[in-house]
Amino acid sequence: MTRSRLALALVCAAFAGGLLFAGATLSQSATEAPPQDAAGRADGGLSVEQLLARTTPPNTPNRDQVERGRQLVIAGDCAACHTKAGGAPFAGSRPIRTPFGVIYSPNITSDHMKHWSADQFYRALHRGLDDDGHHLYPAFPYTYFVHVTRADSDAMLAYLRTTPAVAAKRPANALPFPLNIRGVLVVWNALFFHPKPLQTPAGKSAAWARGQYLVEGPGHCGACHTPKNMLGADETSKAYQGGVLDNWEAPNLTADARTGLGAWSVDDIVEYLKTGRNARAQAGGPMAEVVSASTSMLPDPDLRAIAVYLKDRPAAAPNAGGDPDRAAMARGEAIWQDTCSACHLQSGEGQARFFPPMRGNQGVQQGDPTNVVRVILEGVRTAPTPTRPTPLSMPSYAWKLTDREIADVATYVRNAWGNKAAPVGADKVASLRRKLDLIRPPLSSWSKVDQR
C-alpha cells in the first residue's frame, strides 16, 4: 500500500467513526425481512440426491461433502443475509443496513458460485476478498469465517454449487464516498483483523471444542453478541457481553445469572436453539430468524456443543442502575395486571414454552432496555421451528399505551419479582417509537376523562 492510499484510508476511517461494519444488521422492516419460515427450504425442499443431480461437472462433489456443506451453510445462516424478502434462496440483494448506508448481499446461488474456485472461496472466508481480489465489507463476517477449515470451506462451496441457479443482479451499494472505495478496508483490516487460530485449552471436552468452532467460526455468534468499538470491530475484551444493533440489543451470553446464561442449563440452551422456546425464554426479533433458519436445523450434538461452549464464558454483568420511582412502579403494576398478566401471570412466572416468564428473565434485565421497550411497542413473534411450528406472538401495544405507560410497565418488569435493571424513561420509548415508525396513540382515555 502506498503512503497516499494509506492516508486516504485513515481519513475515511476517521470520517466513518462509529460505522458498525461488522455489527451491521438486517433490516426488520416488512419489505425487507427474509422469509421468516424459509427455514430448511432454502434449498427448495430438495433432497441431497436431487441437489446432486443438478450439479454440473467438473467438480462433481460426493454426497457426504454436499450434505456437510449444507449443514455448515445452515450453521452459518448464510441464507439470512443472502436472501431478500420474497426472493429465491441465496440469490442475494437483501439490503444490509449500516448507519452510513446500505450494502446489498451478493447472489451465492450456483449461478454465481459456479465461477468460483475452491481457493477463491477459501480466500473469501479467510481474508475477506472476493473472486476478483476486491475487499469485502466486514458485514460479511470473515473475522469469524477465518476459522472455517479448508475441508468445511470446500464443502460449503460444493453445496452452494448445487443450489438452484438464479441469475440475480444486486443493486449497487448505497454508501457515500469515500466509504464506497473498498480500499478503506485495507486500513480496517490492518487495525482490527488479526486472526489467531482457535485453541482448545487442556481439559476441555470434544464437545467444548466443537462448540468453540461453531460459535467462533461459521456460527459467528459474536458478530451480534459482542460489543463493538467505534469503528465497528469486536471489543474482544468484552466478548459476548451483549451488543447493540439496529434498535435491538443482542443480549449478554456470559455466565452472569441476572443478564446472561448463568442460570440456564445446557439443556435449556439446546431446547431454545432447537425449538425457539424453553421454560425461560422465547426467541424473537433477529434471533427468531437465526433459530428458524439455522439452529433449529442443526443436529442435536452440535447444539449441545454450542451450549457447552457458551456455558463456559466468564461472567460479566452490566450495571443494574438505581432504584425506580415508586409511583412509576405502582402505575406499571396496574398496567401489568390489566394488560400483561393474562399471559405472563401476575407473578411474572409466565407459561413455559407459551408465554415466557418475566420473573428472572435475563432479556428484560439487560443494561440497555431496548428489547423490552421494543417488544411492547411492536410485538414479537416466537421463532417457528419444525418441532414447535406455532409462531406464538405477543401483540403490538403501540396503539394502546402511551410512551409513559410503556416506560412505566417496562420499568416494572425490569424491577418486579426480584428483577433488577435501570428504570426506563418515556423519552427512550418516544425515541424508539420514532425510529421504528410506529403509531403514536393520543393520550389515554383516562387522561382525557380527567380533563373533561
Give me the sign of the Cα torsion angle 321, 323, 327, 333.
positive
Query: Should residue 41 be labelled a site residue for another protein when binding is judged by CB under 8 A?
Result: yes
Query: Should residue 42 be labelled a site residue for another protein when binding is judged by CB under 8 A?
Result: no
Task: Determine if the peptide bond prior to 178 is cis (ω within 30°).
Answer: yes
Site string for another protein, 308-327 (x = CB under 8 A): -------------------x
Residue in 177, 201, 322, 446 binding another protein, rule: CB under 8 A: 446
Distance in Å, CB of 154 to another protein, minimum? 29
Residue in 337, 420, 427, 435 binding another protein, rule: CB under 8 A: 337
Site string for another protein, 11-40 (x = CB under 8 A): -----------------x-xx-xxxxxx--
For residue 232, give every residue at least 6 positions away whose Cβ sits within 8 Å of its Cβ, in sequence order, or none: 18, 19, 20, 21, 22, 23, 24, 138
| # of chain residues touching another protein (CB under 8 A) | 67
How many angstroms separate the CA atoms of 40 and 29, rounded? 22
Distance in Å, CB of 37 to another protein, minimum? 3
Query: Should residue 438 be labelled a site residue for another protein when binding is judged by CB under 8 A?
Result: yes
Distance in Å, CB of 448 to another protein, minimum? 5
How many angstroms separate the CA atoms of 228 and 234, rounded? 5
Residue in 257, 395, 427, 435 binding another protein, rule: CB under 8 A: 395
Residue carrying the nine cell digits 417488544: 375
Stretch that binds another protein, among 125-133, 134-142, 250-258, 331-339 (CB under 8 A): 331-339
How many angstroms separate the CA atoms of 320 and 419, rounded? 9
Residue carrying the nine cell digits 470451506: 153
**Contact of 446 with 378, CB cutoff 8 Å:** no
Query: Should residue 436 be labelled a site residue for another protein when binding is judged by CB under 8 A?
Result: yes
Helix (H, G, I), strand (E, B) or coil at 43: coil
Stretch that binds another protein, among 253-261, 303-311, 313-321, 333-341 (CB under 8 A): 333-341
Helix 63-75 vs helix 150-160: crossing angle, to nearest 10: 100
CA–CA distances in Å: residue 205 to residues 157, 272, 273: 29, 22, 21
Query: Should residue 398 be labelled a site residue for another protein when binding is judged by CB under 8 A?
Result: yes
How many angstroms separate the CA atoms of 379 and 307, rounded? 28
Stretch that binds another protein, among 170-178, 195-203, 365-373, 435-443 (CB under 8 A): 435-443
Residues, the chain: 452
Contacting another protein within 66-125 (CB under 8 A): 85-86
Residue in 392, 407, 416, 424 binding another protein, rule: CB under 8 A: 392
| Amino acid making up residue 181 | I
How many angstroms separate the CA atoms of 380 and 378, rounded? 7
Query: Should residue 347 be labelled a site residue for another protein when binding is judged by CB under 8 A?
Result: no
Task: Name the strand (E) or helix (H) holding 413.
Answer: helix 403-415
Site string for another protein, 401-420 (x = CB under 8 A): ---xx--x------------
CA nearest to 22, candidates 310, 220, 309? 220
Residue carrying the nine cell digits 451465492: 108
Query: Should residue 342 be labelled a site residue for another protein when binding is judged by CB under 8 A?
Result: yes
| Amino acid making up residue 315 | A
Distance in Å, CB of 327 to another protein, minimum? 4
Distance in Å, CB of 292 to another protein, minimum? 9
Query: Should residue 431 be labelled a site residue for another protein when binding is judged by CB under 8 A?
Result: no
Interface residue list for another protein (CB under 8 A) = 28, 30-31, 33-38, 41, 44-45, 85-86, 327-328, 330-331, 334-335, 337-339, 341-343, 351, 353-355, 377-381, 384, 386-400, 404-405, 408, 436-439, 441-442, 444-450
